[in-house]
Amino acid sequence: MKFLIVGLGNIGFEYDSTRHNIGFDVADAFVIKHGGNFRLDRHAHVADCRWKGKSFTVLKPTTFMNLSGKAVKYWLDKEKIPLENLLVIVDELALPLGTIRLRGSGSAGGHNGLKNIELLLQTAQYSRLRFGIGNNFPKGKQIDFVLGKWNLNEIPTVKENVLKSIDAIESFATVGLERTMNQFNK
């Protein structure tokens, strides 16, 4: 079985370790754990990994967040991966830090990366892992918060949730979305 795991983020040094790039951070950690290496390929940094008889193509789109759908559509088609084996990892303001939430479909919730994926796939029926970044910012400072780096006191929680996200990806691939949601959506 083949899976497409897509971590959303923006390319460029200035975006490294920001809240908006947590999808890239989870993708990096997953690939490191499973002995893969990223290479620059069409529309994305791409890594191939195997684990427990499953094949994973892991993407970090190079199209910038707002055009992520271009990479997702291209690699789904190229690798002939069914839509039900797609999992997109994205930052989520509406969830408190320390929370992850899996869904099999849903709205983009104002997230431009998800909006573009839905536009190009012509559906919102794909799985996503939302990584809570919290919403601890003053009015009018949402962009600064999302594009800002983690505070020192947040880093231990972030690291713990990155590991939990890896476990959720592995569970998604082995026992399916429903059982994974029951286990991780607490």
Q: State the distance between the two ends of the chain, measured CA to CA, in whole angstroms.
A: 28
Which domains does the chain show, CATH number per domain? 2-184 (3.40.50.1470)
Confidence (pLDDT) at 126 = 97
DSSP code string of 58-103:
EEEESS-GGGHHHHHHHHHHHHT--GGGEEEEEEETTS-TT-EEEE
Confidence (pLDDT) at 107 = 87
Those residues with Cβ within 8 angstroms of residue 141's Cβ, 6 or more apart along the chain or in another chain: none
34 tagged catalytic: no
Confidence (pLDDT) at 136 = 86
- pTM, two decimals, is 0.96
Confidence (pLDDT) at 186 = 79
Per-residue pLDDT 10s for the chain (186 aa) are 899 999 999 999 999 999 999 999 999 999 999 999 999 999 999 999 999 999 999 999 999 899 999 999 999 999 999 999 999 999 999 999 999 999 999 888 888 899 999 999 999 999 999 999 999 888 888 999 999 999 999 999 999 999 999 999 999 999 999 999 999 997
Catalytic residue among 20, 34, 45, 111: 20
